[in-house]
Amino acid sequence: MTANLDLLSFLERVPYARFIGMRATLNGDEMTGVLPFSEHLIGNPSLPALHGGLIGAFMELTAIAQLSITGPQSRLPRTVDISIDYLRSGRPVDTYARALIKRVGRRIANVQVEAWQEARANPIAALRGNFLVSPRGGDEALPGAAGTH
């Protein structure tokens, strides 16, 4: 229930998430980001293909949303750095993304995201990022938080 509220509140709260039209589905505390296709998301009008930067932005938001669900934050996680690999052209159809939280420290969370369209086994892009996290309640750390940074 809490995860659902955190996810809904995230999607409602972030204007840019609404601008790109991002949605999500939730199974327990595992979410799948959903980006319904829309004409304004196109980067290459000839093929047509989704804009690469936009795909990166969608994966980045998916990471931040997953972090917000997994451990309630006092403020939204802040991107420190991201590295995006573009694997296949993004077709003009819906896109999905799943974030895997690799590690959460006291301040930094490391997250990997994959985005796909028709086939989960054929991702269109992958992102790895480090995010500054602010667990709610001060001492209360995110599950898995231990050790340095």
Partner 1 sequence: MSKDDLPGAPVTTPMARALGMVAVSVSPDIVVKVPYRDDLVGDPDTGVIAGGVVTTLLDHTSARAAAAALTEETSLATLDLRIDYMRPSKPGRDIFATAYCYKVTRSVAFVRALAYDEDPSDPVASAQGAFMLDSDAGREAGANLTPVQRKPRVKE
Residues forming contacts to partner 1 in the complex (CB under 8 A) are 13-20, 39-49, 51-54, 56-58, 60-61, 75-76, 78-86, 89, 91-92, 118-119, 122
User: Among residues 85 and 140, whose Cβ is nearest to partner 1?
Assistant: 85
Minimum CB separation of residue 116 from partner 1 in Å reads 11
User: Among residues 27 and 46, whose Cβ is nearest to partner 1?
Assistant: 46
Q: 11: burial class by Cβ within 10 Å (0-12, 13-18, 19+)?
A: middle
User: Among residues 43 and 144, whose Cβ is nearest to partner 1?
Assistant: 43
Phi and psi at 41, nearest 5°, equal: -90, 0
Distance (Å, rounded) from C-alpha 114 to C-alpha 124?
Answer: 8
Minimum CB separation of residue 2 from partner 1 in Å reads 20
Pair of tokens at residue 34:
């959903």
User: Among residues 18 and 106, whose Cβ is nearest to partner 1?
Assistant: 18
Distance (Å, rounded) from C-alpha 122 to C-alpha 22?
Answer: 21
Minimum CB separation of residue 42 from partner 1 in Å reads 4
Phi and psi at 19, nearest 5°, equal: -60, -40
Minimum CB separation of residue 146 from partner 1 in Å reads 25
User: Measuring CA to CA, which residue among 88, 85, 94 is closest to residue 123?
Assistant: 88
